[in-house]
Structure 1
Amino acid sequence: MKKNISNNDEITSKINRNTKTIILDNLKFILGLIFIILLVNGIIRIDAHYITNFSIVSGEQTLTEITQLFLVLITIYSFIKLSFEKKELKQASVLIGCFFVVVFIRELDFLFDLVYHGFWVVPALLVTFSALYYAFKDWRKGLNQMADILEIRAMKVVIIGTILLLFYSRLIGMGSLWKDIMAVNYVYRVKIIIEEGTELLCYFLITFGAILVRKELKKQK
């Protein structure tokens, strides 16, 4: 009896392989987030330092905006590539990828405005309806696939980043808010840097999550 107890104590006193994996994975995740925060801070500082007329320069000409576009492209690639790597998740992967294609189109609205103001809505709607038709032509299969992807923990990072992008970054970037905060000291440059910096952080979170989702799903057989 005493021997069994001592054996059990010996087993519980050892750090098993699963424990090491969990701790290391979480440490990598934390370090990844810290790295993202440092990157965002660095990019904003570069724009603020070298683009002295940040307040009047079109956002599309800044390193912040260029980085945002690059991150959206990586996110799109991650999910579209996943649709080829995991055929059983093709419909849902394409739908998510196309959602970010629409986000990319919206970020390029300044180019579509060369046709006419607000023209970006046309290609965005075409992509949206095409993706919805493809994903839900067999809607039960599409929903099951979406559930399988949403089950991956890293999708929570993608979702959080997307919600912050669509709602919080818009609210924090409202001119009326900053006019109330700074009153007579209102400076548009401060407002736009905070808004674009918040969006950049959101895009980094989304891309980080998308890469982790693809990595996790590729491990599954």
Structure 2
Amino acid sequence: MPQPSRNTISFRATCLRALLYILFVTALMQGVDYEARDLSETHFTEIGFTEFTQTLLLALGVALLLYVRQVLKALPSVTLLMLAFLLASLIREQDAHLDTHVFDGAWQVLVTLVVLPSLLLVIRRRREFLAEFEHYADSFSFGLFASGFLVTYVFSRLFGRSELWIAILAENYARTFKDIVEEVTELLGYSLILIAIIELVMLVRRWQARP
């Protein structure tokens, strides 16, 4: 059996991080519970706990990716694509504010300005991107990021379909319930993505600590 390297995560460290992530997700769900019970004035609105926390998680993810890219100088092509993806999601979460205070459709314009140049640059540097991706794909961070993507952008959309909830609730159907289910599922997905980026920071630091 191969011996672990000095950069391998210990079982004790893994358990500690798992505990912290469990507490983090638990705190998020306690916030959702508090919003449902006590925040009637901002009950799952654009300025409510759930929507605000989604924005906060995305903003933290963007900041950490900038740290990896600009400070740690690691995976520049991979982190550029991840940055474009998270920044586009962050802009999308502000659609109501942008439509109201800037102009209708402002978020689509901003997302296009973020995504298109990033995609073109990654395509131009595709060899570097593929080489970096091979290193990143075989990691816990990538698995979490992929899980967060699937939860947020696939599962929540399918789980939040009006047709599904009309079939389940029949005459008791209310769009508010469907929207809450979708938003809370998105919150879970964003939390997984943030955890993945935290793991990416620690992964890069382990790489750089190698003799």
TM over 0.5: yes
CA distance in 2 between partners of 1:88 and 1:50 (Å): 44
Higher gyration radius (CA): 1
Matching of residues 1-221 of structure 1 within 5 Å: 22-52=10-40, 59-114=45-100, 115-221=102-208
In the superposition, relative to structure 1, how do residues 34 and 138 fare at CA in structure 2: closer, same or farther (>3 Å)?
Answer: closer
Mark the runs of 5 or more structure 2 residues left unpaired by the alignment: none
Mark the runs of 5 or more structure 1 residues left unpaired by the alignment: 1-15
Contact 1:85 1:218 in 2 (8 A): no
Contact 2:99 2:106 in 1 (8 A): yes
Cα deviation digits, residues 29-85 of structure 1 (max 9, x gap)? 43134213312320111111123366xx67311111101100001111111110123
Moved more, 111-120 or 204-213: 111-120
Cα deviation digits, residues 91-132 of structure 1 (max 9, x gap)? 221221121000111111112213443331111111111112
Post-superposition shift, 1:192? 2.5
Contact 1:77 1:97 in 2 (8 A): no
Cα deviation digits, residues 123-167 of structure 1 (max 9, x gap)? 111111111233332321122123222232222101101111001
Tell me the percent identity.
25
Letter of the aligned partner of 1:150 in structure 2?
A: A
CA distance in 2 between partners of 1:79 and 1:146 (Å): 15
Moved more, 112-121 or 90-99: 112-121
CA distance in 2 between partners of 1:51 and 1:116 (Å): 29
CA distance in 2 between partners of 1:182 and 1:52 (Å): 23
CA distance in 2 between partners of 1:139 and 1:17 (Å): 31
Letter of the aligned partner of 2:197 in structure 1?
A: A
CA-atom RMSD in angstroms: 2.4
- Give the number of equivalent residue pairs: 203
Contact 1:74 1:207 in 2 (8 A): yes
CA distance in 2 between partners of 1:134 and 1:81 (Å): 20
Letter of the aligned partner of 1:187 in structure 2?
A: A
Post-superposition shift, 1:195? 1.7
